[in-house]
Amino acid sequence: MHLRVRTTLATLAFLASALMPALANAQWGQDCSLTPSSSSIIAGQSTTLTWSATDGWGVADDYGTVFMYDSGYITNYGSTGGFPGSYGGRVSGSVTVSPSVSTTYTFTAHYGVNTIFYSPVTADCATTISVTPAYAQGSYYAQGAYYSPASCSVSLSPNPKSYAGSATLSWSSSSAHYWVYLNNVGYVGSSGSTSVSPTASTDYSCYAYGYGGSDGWHSAVLSVNPPANCTFNGATVTHGSSVTAYQASSVAYGSSCVSETRSCSNGTLSGTYAYSTCSVLPAPPTCAVSVSPTSVVQGNSSTLSWSSTGATSCTGTNFSTGGATSGSTSVSPSSSTTYTASCTGAGGTASCTGTGSGGVGALLTVSCTPATSYSCSGSTVVQTSTSSACAVTTNASYATCNTPTFCSSGSATCLYNAITGSISASPRIVPSGRTTTVTWSTSNAVACTVTGNGDTWTGTSGSHTSSPITQLVRYTIACDDADADTAQDDYSSSVTVVRVPSWLEI
């Protein structure tokens, strides 16, 4: 056993002596950095030191040796913490320091190794923070006199402020012979004001310095209210986020939904589109209407039919569908008529095609026998004409009947009251050579003439003795009514007188 231990130690010593020249010639790749956020501060302020180091670098030997960052240390601060080796890349971190005097900080990166032949190594980097003293409160003798410490004050209005609004930052100081400093502003005059608009709470503390030193920092923090959210169709859109909005809730079949992105900024939502969703409507329905036959004589009927696809209901004009999407019915119009229909479905409403004007609806042509008729409206004759196309024309004042005329339905002219009368002879049988008395009377006549046996009498009524009668005689009365002509042809009547034969005694 002792021989084996001695052999192992001898082997290790030999390997170490062989590898040391390689270590001396190795190309180390370690590096580090240490960077301050501010290299010059006033006593009482802080600065951030950011450090980084290479991790996982190696040496130029044949053993695959890799040096790995495993920890770091900053003088005047302490450990930066340990990290497991990552075999490549960089490791980094940051720490905050508040030195009271100017201080140099050195960052030491410690590297372990993955072999027993090499010792761990380090890398160093440094930075210096310059600190301006913040003098304690109390009088200070300078330039042959005692001076009070410099002092300052800051006011912020409004405080807190709205997220998008601004605030007025005002400051003043006393005994600030050298300078006045405001956090997040910088060096300023002894007094003044300015507008500030931060979107997060911000420190505007002040520090003044004069012959008498300074009485220290005076705190002033501007608080900022959180930004307002937005509302879109009842849903909350948080500040800084966005929502997709649509121009319409639905669009016609074959069209595309139009959208925009509406972003919320402190309670104000950009854009104008108002709908949260959008859908494309189904294809619109189709429908057709027809009549068979397409022409009839007035009084006859035709069969009207309609059909549709993609419809849930149909409505007819000049006929009733009963809501059905297809069907037929008998129609018998008095004149030519166009029957139209429209059908509605999920895709909208469509007008039904056919033989009507513009290809819409179905036209049923109705023909008629031309005719003219007359009727009465009081004393006025009304003419009604029907064309072959069954178009009806009415002349409501075709003729006016004045007294003694009157209107009679079916007559195109004004009528007169019919003449009534009588004619008689007394005696009606007379001996030869004797006379008779002819008597007549009329109503509704304007002129009459009685003739017979060579006798002529006039008047609408009368009684006259005839001339001697020697033969069979007929007395005739002829009268005229009040029509436009004067012919006595509107009434006629007669009476016969008989002669008694003469007897000769032999």
pLDDT grade for 90, boundaries at 50, 70 and 90: low
Identify the residue with better confidence: 221 or 56.
221
Residue 7 lies in a domain: no
Residue 18 lies in a domain: no
Q: Does the global pTM surpass 0.75? A: no
Q: What is the 3-state secondary structure (H, E, C) of 30-88?
A: CCEEEEECCCEEEECECEEEEEEEECCEECCCCCCCEEEEEEEEECCCEEEEECCCCCC
pLDDT at 138 over 80: no
Last residue of a domain, one of 328, 345, 367: 367
* Max mean pLDDT range (97-106, 125-134, 316-325, 348-357): 316-325
pLDDT at 113: 58
Alpha-carbon span 441 to 281, nearest angstrom: 93
pLDDT at 506: 58
Alpha-carbon span 440 to 459, nearest angstrom: 9
Residue 126 lies in a domain: yes
* 95 plus 45 within the same structural domain: yes
Nearest by Cα to 471 from 432, 502, 503: 432
Fill in the DSSP letter of residue 116. Answer: T
Longest dimension (CA), the chain: 223
* 481 plus 385 within the same structural domain: no
Identify the residue with better confidence: 25 or 38.
38
pLDDT at 334 over 90: no
Residue 35 lies in a domain: yes
Domain count across the chain: 6
Percent of the chain clearing pLDDT 90 (strictly above): 56
Strand order in the sheet with 242-246: 242-246, 259-265, 268-269
pLDDT at 286: 93
Give Cα 347 to chain centroid, integer Å: 18
pLDDT at 91: 75
Residue 14 lies in a domain: no
pLDDT grade for 87, boundaries at 50, 70 and 90: very low
Q: Which residues of 16-55 are buried (b: 16+ CB within 10 A; e: fewer)?
A: eeebeebbeebeeebebbbebeeeebebbbebebebbbbb
Last residue of a domain, one of 65, 99, 132: 132
In this prediction, residues 352-363 reach a mean pLDDT of 87
* 128 plus 162 within the same structural domain: no
Q: Is 423 helix (H, G, I), strand (E, B) or coil?
A: strand
CATH number at residue 105: 2.60.40.10
Q: CB burial class (10 A; 0-12, 13-18, 19+) of residue 173?
A: buried
Identify the residue with better confidence: 484 or 500.
500
Alpha-carbon span 66 to 24, nearest angstrom: 15
In this prediction, residues 299-317 reach a mean pLDDT of 94
Q: CB burial class (10 A; 0-12, 13-18, 19+) of residue 316?
A: buried
Nearest by Cα to 339 from 313, 311, 364: 364
pLDDT at 391: 82
* Tokens describing residue 300: 């006859």
Residue 473 lies in a domain: yes
Percent of the chain clearing pLDDT 70 (strictly above): 83
* 248 plus 271 within the same structural domain: yes
What would the pLDDT profile of 359-417 be if each residue is shown by its tens digit? 888 999 999 889 899 999 998 999 999 888 888 899 988 999 888 788 999 998 888 88
pLDDT at 381: 94
* 303 plus 387 within the same structural domain: no
Q: Compute φ and ψ for 10, nearest 5 degrees.
A: -65, -35
* 121 plus 43 within the same structural domain: yes
Average pLDDT, the chain: 84
Alpha-carbon span 234 to 5, nearest angstrom: 83
In this prediction, residues 19-24 reach a mean pLDDT of 42
Alpha-carbon span 382 to 398, nearest angstrom: 5
pLDDT at 78: 78
* 92 plus 63 within the same structural domain: yes
Tell me the DSSP string of 428-493.
Answer: SEEETTB--EEEEEEES-SEEEEEETTEEEESSEEEEEPPPB-S-EEEEEEEE-SSSS--S-SEEE
pLDDT at 423 over 60: yes
Alpha-carbon span 263 to 239, nearest angstrom: 8
H and E: helices and strands count for the chain: 1, 47
* 32 plus 104 within the same structural domain: yes
* 328 plus 393 within the same structural domain: no
Identify the residue with better confidence: 380 or 61.
380
Residue 6 lies in a domain: no
Q: Compute φ and ψ for 2, nearest 5 degrees.
A: -65, -30
Q: CB burial class (10 A; 0-12, 13-18, 19+) of residue 483?
A: middle
CATH number at residue 201: 2.60.40
- Write out the residue range of the structural domain in which residue 41 sits: 23-132
Amino acid at 464: H
pLDDT at 356: 79
pLDDT at 418: 87
Instruction: Give the residue carrying structure tokens 């069979």.
Output: 472
CA torsion through residues 305, 311, 317, 321, sign: positive
Last residue of a domain, one of 132, 148, 175: 132
pLDDT at 76: 76
pLDDT at 36 over 60: yes
pLDDT at 62 over 70: no
pLDDT grade for 72, boundaries at 50, 70 and 90: confident
Residue 324 lies in a domain: yes
In this prediction, residues 218-224 reach a mean pLDDT of 96
pLDDT at 112: 66
For residues 107 and 93, the answer to whether their CB atoms sit within 8 Å is no
pLDDT at 12 over 50: no
* 37 plus 119 within the same structural domain: yes
* 31 plus 95 within the same structural domain: yes
Alpha-carbon span 380 to 394, nearest angstrom: 13
pLDDT grade for 247, boundaries at 50, 70 and 90: very high
In this prediction, residues 114-139 reach a mean pLDDT of 67
* 357 plus 312 within the same structural domain: yes
pLDDT at 136: 44
